[in-house]
């Protein structure tokens, strides 16, 4: 909801609400990447590099996870931070 077609798998940064997509590294760890709304393409720019709330990401790397997981944690009343 809220996205036009062709944006399957696109989430929003929970810090700045920018559209992002999650890339899985070979290690299996998900990394947020920028999504270009103008061209509707997944860029190869890590979102950390452009997020205006980048400071929020520091120290949270261990807990960085897809937005869906964050929602689940909220639903179940789990803490976001240790
Ligand atoms: Zn952001």
For the chain, domain boundaries: 10-75
In this prediction, residues 52-78 reach a mean pLDDT of 65
Q: What is the pLDDT of residues 9-64, one digit of tens each?
A: 899 998 899 999 999 888 999 999 999 999 999 999 999 999 998 876 666 555 55
Rounded to the nearest angstrom, the distance between the alpha carbon of 26 and the centre of ligand 1 is 23
pLDDT recorded at residue 5: 47
CA 28 vs CA 22, 37, 52, 65: distances in Å: 11, 26, 26, 12
Which residues make up the environment of ion ligand 1, defined by Cβ < 5 Å? 13, 15-16, 18, 51
The SS3 assignment for 80 reads coil
Q: What is the pTM of this model?
A: 0.58
Long-range pairs of 3-11 with CB within 8 A, sequence gap ≥ 24: 6/40, 7/35, 7/40, 10/35, 11/66, 11/67, 11/68
Better pLDDT: 15 or 73:
15
């Amino acid at each position: 909801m809220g996205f036009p077609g062709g944006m399957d798998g696109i989430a929003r940064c929970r810090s700045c609400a920018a559209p992002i997509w999650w890339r899985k590294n070979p290690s299996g760890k998900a990394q947020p990447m920028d999504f270009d709304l103008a061209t509707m393409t997944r860029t190869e720019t890590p979102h950390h590099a452009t997020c205006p709330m980048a400071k929020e990401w520091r120290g949270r790397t261990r807990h960085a996870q897809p937005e869906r997981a964050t929602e689940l944690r909220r639903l179940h009343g789990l803490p976001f931070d240790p």
